[in-house]
Amino acid sequence: MLQGTVILTLTSFVVKVLSAVYRVPYQNLVGDEGFYVYQQIYPIYGIGMTLALTGLPVYLSKLLAACSSQKEQEKTLNAFFTVVSGLSLLLFGSLYALATPIARLMGDVSLSPLIQVVSFVFLLVPFLSTYRGFFQGQLEMKPTAISQLVEQGSRVLVILGAGYLFTILDWTVYDVGNVAMSGAIVGGLFALVILWYYGRRRSFSVRLRKQDSKELRQFTKKLLKEGGTLCFFSAYLIVFQLVDAFSVKQFLVYGGMDDLSAKIAKGVFDRGQPLVQLGLVVAVSMTAAFLPPLTKHFMNKDKRAYEDMVFSYIKVARVIALAASVGLALVLPYINVTLFSDNQAELTLSLFVLSIYFVSMIQTYQTIYQSQNIVRYQVLGAIAGLFTKIVWTPLLTFYYGTVGASLSTLFGLFVCLAVLKWYLVKAIPGHKSSHEYRIKLSLNLAGMIAVLLVYRGILEIVQWQTFERGADLLLSLLGVCLGGSVYIIGLIKSQLFTEAEWYMLPFGKKVVKKMKKISR
């Protein structure tokens, strides 16, 4: 089980990095307008893949783990595949038939063929989610891990191939978007072949079987309620992107921009997505070691140890997420030029990457709630945050452009986090951070900010804007090293983390050894 978990964790890490990184060369090949076209449709694909990759397979694996016999497992598998097939067909048919109205709502009717292409992804969801859920329910993580890598790798190859063909053929940005989106179907089919192969070795196959209608209705209600909640959280940030797809470009036009300028501005705004994804990979993976002991203490009903672990988990997550988001915002000009060749919309993107902090903390609180099987406050927080995002995005975008769009994302995430934190403070009063901790953290953060502001001031004097992209890469890395070093030294000197908390982090043992040497 542990080997399988490690394999799946490492694979998920690689897949997330790939998912963030490929967008940079793609934007370089197709430009900001081409990137806008891709990003407008990406949230629809993202929701489909969340269903097939994480939300539904995890839900099915939990159902299978609760079954007491093989016959009961087969019954659950049949009901799951039947219900998910029906829902997926409904989603596919709706998207395909309503592609033009949906594109019109996005403010760009030319997106209609791309929506039709991506709708086919939902036909693969029942097969991918059932196979993955089955294997994960048997504690076999290898088939899911390999299928993830194959799916993402083949998809990225198609997307970058489409970007390259755009540079040598007389394609429009919508033509290249169409081909790029077909990569989702290619990747899904390759993944399905891998899963089918492993299923055949286990004498397991996916197909529709006759079901009792009453039991099927009951199962459908259960899946929509419990599985739907899990999928909603898994795709939370993607749902925010979907709100942007329907709002940002349109309200830039309403605010006075011409159509082409609004498309390019939305494309520049979307540069923030891969940056946030990479920041989240670092922030979330750094705190992953807290999950097993957290679950263990709760299952053992060791209240004191559990509450101490909750406090440590939140403390470490906050320290890392703050450094990742604020640090990235301060070195963003050099990263922007390095990755995307210019420094457009610096303020917009600097604000947007601050969402790394909020999303990291939301995921931290959700993990704590999930360890206690508390769903109500997770749903309440998520809905409150999404409602805030939906209400404020049009208004702020109309008056403040893409800066307003970034602010609306921060507002929505803040509201979600506030609701999650409010309940946990009530449930575990001791988890509230101490005055001393807040002062130490503020001083460390202020030290990092001060050093990076001085660094930025020096680079302005030497006119860094005239440098080549290679030099800007070195400036980015130097900025990260400077800020990170000051922050880590501050953490050690202020003793913000306990020895046990350091041991939970990568390279923590080395830090503790050096601390002991210094104290001698």
Show the tokens assigned to 322. Answer: 């703050």
**Domain boundaries along the sequence of the chain:** 1-234, 433-519
Res. 284: pLDDT tops 70 = no
| Mean predicted confidence (pLDDT) in 469-481 | 92
Question: What angle do helix axes 376-427 and 346-353 make, rounded to 10 degrees?
Answer: 70
Q: Which of residues 430 and 307 earns the better pLDDT score?
A: 307
DSSP class of residue 135 equals: H
- Give the Cα separation of 393 and 386 in Å (integer): 11
Res. 491: pLDDT tops 60 = yes
- Helices (H), ranges, 287-343: 291-299, 303-330, 332-340
Q: Provide the pLDDT confidence category of residue 433 given band limits of 50, 70 and 90.
A: low
Res. 384: pLDDT tops 90 = yes
Q: Which of residues 501 and 447 earns the better pLDDT score?
A: 447
Per-residue pLDDT of 93-137, as tens digits, reads 999 999 999 999 999 999 999 999 999 999 999 999 998 888 877
- Give the Cα separation of 450 and 456 in Å (integer): 10
Question: What angle do helix axes 376-427 and 236-254 make, rounded to 10 degrees?
Answer: 110
Per-residue pLDDT of 53-104, as tens digits, reads 777 887 888 788 777 778 888 888 888 888 899 999 999 999 999 999 999 9
For residue 433, the tally of other CB atoms under 10 A from its CB is 12
pLDDT at 28: 92
| 3-class SS string, 38-98 | HHHHHHHHHHHHHHHHHHHHHHHHHHHHCCCCHHHHHHHHHHHHHHHHHHHHHHHHHHHHC
pLDDT at 180: 94
Q: Provide the pLDDT confidence category of residue 143 given band limits of 50, 70 and 90.
A: confident
| Mean predicted confidence (pLDDT) in 460-470 | 89
Question: What angle do helix axes 23-50 and 2-21 make, rounded to 10 degrees?
Answer: 130
- Give the Cα separation of 89 and 122 in Å (integer): 7
This model's pTM is above 0.85: yes
Q: Provide the pLDDT confidence category of residue 432 given band limits of 50, 70 and 90.
A: low
Q: Provide the pLDDT confidence category of residue 311 given band limits of 50, 70 and 90.
A: confident
Q: Which of residues 286 and 169 earns the better pLDDT score?
A: 169
Res. 307: pLDDT tops 90 = no
Q: Provide the pLDDT confidence category of residue 240 given band limits of 50, 70 and 90.
A: very high
Per-residue pLDDT of 185-229, as tens digits, reads 999 999 999 999 988 888 777 776 777 777 788 888 888 887 787
Measured in whole angstroms, the distance separating CA 441 from the mean position of its chain's CA atoms is 26
- Write the DSSP assignment of 204-252 as a string of letters: ---------HHHHHHHHHHIIIIIHHHHHHHTHHHHHHHHHHHHHHHHH
**Cβ(337)–Cβ(343) under 8 Å?**
yes
Res. 256: pLDDT tops 60 = yes
Res. 474: pLDDT tops 80 = yes
Q: What percent of the chain clears pLDDT 70, i.e. is strictly above it?
A: 91
Q: Which of residues 41 and 17 earns the better pLDDT score?
A: 41
pLDDT at 5: 55
Res. 1: pLDDT tops 60 = no
pLDDT at 285: 62
Q: Provide the pLDDT confidence category of residue 520 given band limits of 50, 70 and 90.
A: low
| Mean predicted confidence (pLDDT) in 179-187 | 93
Q: Which of residues 312 and 45 earns the better pLDDT score?
A: 45
The one-letter amino acid at 439: I
pLDDT at 292: 63
Q: Which of residues 413 and 281 earns the better pLDDT score?
A: 413
Q: What is the mean pLDDT of the chain?
A: 86
Kindly report the length of the chain. Answer: 520
DSSP class of residue 466 equals: G
Res. 389: pLDDT tops 90 = yes
